[in-house]
Amino acid sequence: MPDITFKGQPVTLAGTLPSVGQVAPDFTLAAADLTDLRRDDLKGRKAVLSISASLDTGTCALAAKAFNARLAGRDDVEVVYISSDLPFAAKRFCEAESLAKIRTASVFRSPEFGRDYGVGILSGPLRGLLARAVLVLDEQGVVRHAQLVPEIAREPDYDEALKALG
């Protein structure tokens, strides 16, 4: 079990983050328009899965803005921001911040995602939400970069994620 904290306090997570070289587990999440977004919908393109608790937190908002800015010119990459936010709220945030590169996905209909991806928070004030993680998938859905951010209140390592994209 990895040592993960939120503002210095240990938290327990469900499951295990997928490893580099592993095919990312299947998922079905709710897209901004309430349609299903499946892992297989991303095949054929590289994908960055930016996972976090909620766009209503400062660090989560910074991460979404950073990936949007850093990948704006990359038409070969899909950026999916995955959180517990309802699709309506995530869509409203992206529109207000002009985050055209970000595709949002909600776990509100898929509580198993937290366990399957090792990011479901089981203890502490954020229990029921998702820990911060970044996965980079290749065109076949194989994990090429995996980071579970050790302190939930900190930003991920953008440079390592971008390096994995090539």
Catalytic residues: 60
Q: How many residues does the chain have?
A: 166
* Cβ proximity of 63 and 93 under 8 Å: no
Work out whether strand 133-137 and strand 46-51 pair parallel, antiparallel, or are unpaired: antiparallel
Of 20, 5, 2, 40, nearest to 152 by C-alpha is 5
